Amino acid sequence: MLENMTVLTADTFQSYTADRSCLVLVFRRQCPHCRVLMAVVDKCRPLCPDLPVTGVDADESPGILDSVGVTKVPTILVYRNGHVSGFKSGVMNPSELLALVASSKA
């Protein structure tokens, strides 16, 4: 689990993402690919200081996955002012994550 990562639940997800810009990492605790993506996110954190990192535990909050259309973990959602402006499932390397973040600004 990443340090300083707020884990959102069914009670907090909507209100947290309503008007914020942030990264949401959808993960499972026993998922090895999620561990890889957490390391990628951690490495990229200093390069996207405007995007606090949050998480959603897919096993604890399956309803959130349905509401945002996530079928696989790990998945990264990039929120800009409350809207999903970037979305990608699967493991990616740091440059791919940074490209996703950059494309979400357009």
Partner 1 sequence: MGRSERDLIIVGGGIGGMTAAIYAARAALDVVMLERAVCGGLANSSWNVENFPSYRSIAGLELMQKIRSHVESYQVAIEEMTEVTHVDVESRQKLIDTSSGQYAAKAVIFATGASPIRLPIESGCDERVHYCSLCDGPAYRGRDVVVVGGGNTGFDESLSLVSLGVRSAVIVECMTMCRAEQSIQKQAFSTGRITVRTDSRLSAIIPHAERLRVAVEHLRSGVMDEIAADGVFVFIGQKPNTSMLEGKVKLDKAGYVIGDARMHTNRPGLFAAGDVVAKRYRQLTTAMADGTIAALEAARYLRECV
Query: Where does this chain bind partner 1 (CB under 8 A)?
Result: 28, 30-36, 39-40, 43, 58-59, 71-74, 89, 91, 93-95
Cβ neighbours, 10 Å, residue 10: 13
C-alpha torsion 94→97→102→106, nearest 10: 170
* 15 or 63: CB nearest partner 1: 63
Rounded to the nearest whole angstrom, what is the least distance from the CB of residue 70 to partner 1 in the complex? 10
Rounded to the nearest whole angstrom, what is the least distance from the CB of residue 104 to partner 1 in the complex? 21
CA distance 87 to 95: 15
Rounded to the nearest whole angstrom, what is the least distance from the CB of residue 9 to partner 1 in the complex? 17
Kindly state the tokens that stand for 27: 């993960």
